[in-house]
Amino acid sequence: MKVLLCISHVPDTTSRIRFTDNDTAFDKTDIQYIIGPHEELALTRLLEVKEQIGDLNITVLNVGTAETEPTIRKALAVGADDAIRVDAEPTDALFVAKQIAEVFKNGDFDFIVTGKETIDFNGAQVGEMVAELLDLPSISSTSHFEIKDGKALLEREIDGGKEEIEVDFPFVSTAGKGFAIEPRIPSMRGIMQARRKPLKVVQPVEQAAKTKVNKFYLPEPKGACKMVDAENVEELIRLLHEEAKVL
């Protein structure tokens, strides 16, 4: 069986965010990049599934410039089998989705996994767009994933509950909370092996952008925190009621 795991290359979650070029571009100075946290959990779970069922080839895919290769290599070091990079600076989510759909069509993959959302653009849209472009069923915010007797059994979060879903291949699953708990980290051996694993670079197909970012803003700085004495909780209630007007 073959899975296409689409990973994002995003600023580390502890990064302080800054912008340049009159606040039209993200400032990459001193930024460490990581595999998107949801995709990292997805990779972890897929490796567990591979260990259970034996036959599962994990291909990681990233749409990005050569800058993203260390992130792709990290996924290979954690345990993915091979990788594809679509060589392009992504313009918007639809552009990325179009590239993923194209790679899927040109390969013999059984299913696609993406993260539920990236932590830079927070669109939570690429997985669903891929499914729509390929006319595939989708399971968004998947919270549990397994393959049993050749069938995919998933759980997904819904507003106020959860659903169990059994789905035929092929399909798209977007990995959310619960897909795995602790991400796997690469071993020394994994890092050595990753250098020799195949990383194929392919050219993008055309897709005109339908959206663009005109300008970024940072939140207004917060005023100082008003401290209330622990012995005087009535004062907190008074402030929340009279001053903040939220009680």
Partner 1 sequence: MSVLVYTENWDGKFKKSTYELLSYASEIAKMANTEVSALTIGEVAEDELKTLGTYGASKVLVLKDEKLKDFIAKSYSSAISQVAKKEDAKIVVFANSVSGRALAARTAVQLDAGFAPGVMQLPSSLEPFVVRKKAYSGKAFADYELMADVKVLSLTQNSFELIENAKDIAIEETSVEIHDEDLRAKPKNVEKQTGKLLITEAEILVSAGRGLKGPENWGMIEEMAEILGAATCCSRPVADLGWRPHEEHVGQTGKVVAPNLYFAIGISGAIQHLAGVNGSKVMVAINTDPEAPFFEAADYGIVGDAFKVVPALNEALKKFKAGQ
Q: Return d(Cα 94, Cα 16) in angstroms, integer.
A: 27
Q: How far is the CB of 37 from ligand FAD (least distance, A)?
A: 4
Instruction: State the nearest-atom distance from the C-beta of 13 to ligand FAD, in Å.
Output: 4
CA-wise closest residue to 25 among 214, 208, 221, 218: 214
CB-nearer residue toward partner 1: 88 or 119 = 119
In angstroms, give the least distance from the CB of 81 to partner 1. Answer: 26
Position among 5, 8, 9, 37 found at the interface with ligand FAD (CB under 6 A): 37
Q: For residues 13-32, which are near ligand FAD according to CB under 6 A?
A: 13
Neighbours of 122 (CB within 10 A): 8
User: Is residue 227 at the binding interface for partner 1, with CB under 8 A as the rule?
Assistant: yes
Task: Locate 136 and state its tokens.
Answer: 């595939």
Total Cβ atoms within 10 A of residue 188: 8
Number of neighbours of residue 8 by Cβ within 10 angstroms: 27
Backbone angles phi, psi at 163, to 5 degrees: -130, 145
Binding mask 36-75 for partner 1 (x = CB under 8 A): -xx-------------------------------------
One residue of 71, 95, 128, 197 binding partner 1 per CB under 8 A: 128
Does 241 bind partner 1 (CB under 8 A)? Our answer is yes
Over the window 49 to 78, marking each residue x when it contacts ligand FAD by CB under 6 A and - when it does not, the resulting string is ------------------------------
Spatial CB neighbours of 76, under 8 Å, sequence gap ≥ 6: 60, 82, 83, 190, 193, 194, 197, 199
Q: Which residues pair with 157 in a beta bridge?
A: 162
Smallest distance, ligand FAD to C-beta of residue 60, A: 18
Alpha helices in 54-201 (DSSP H): 69-78, 93-106, 126-134, 188-194
Among ligand FAD, partner 1, none, residue 141 binds (CB under 5-8 Å by kind): partner 1
- The reply to whether 124 sits near partner 1 by the rule CB under 8 A is yes
Q: Of the candidates 98, 111, 61, 63, which has an alpha carbon nearest to the alpha carbon of residue 82?
A: 61
What is the closest distance, in whole angstroms, from the C-beta atom of residue 206 to ligand FAD in the complex?
34
Query: How, if at all, do strands 138-148 and 57-64 pair?
Result: unpaired
The listed partner (partner 1, ligand FAD, none) that binds 222, CB under 5 to 8 Å by sort, is: partner 1
Binding flag, residue 166, partner 1 (CB under 8 A): yes
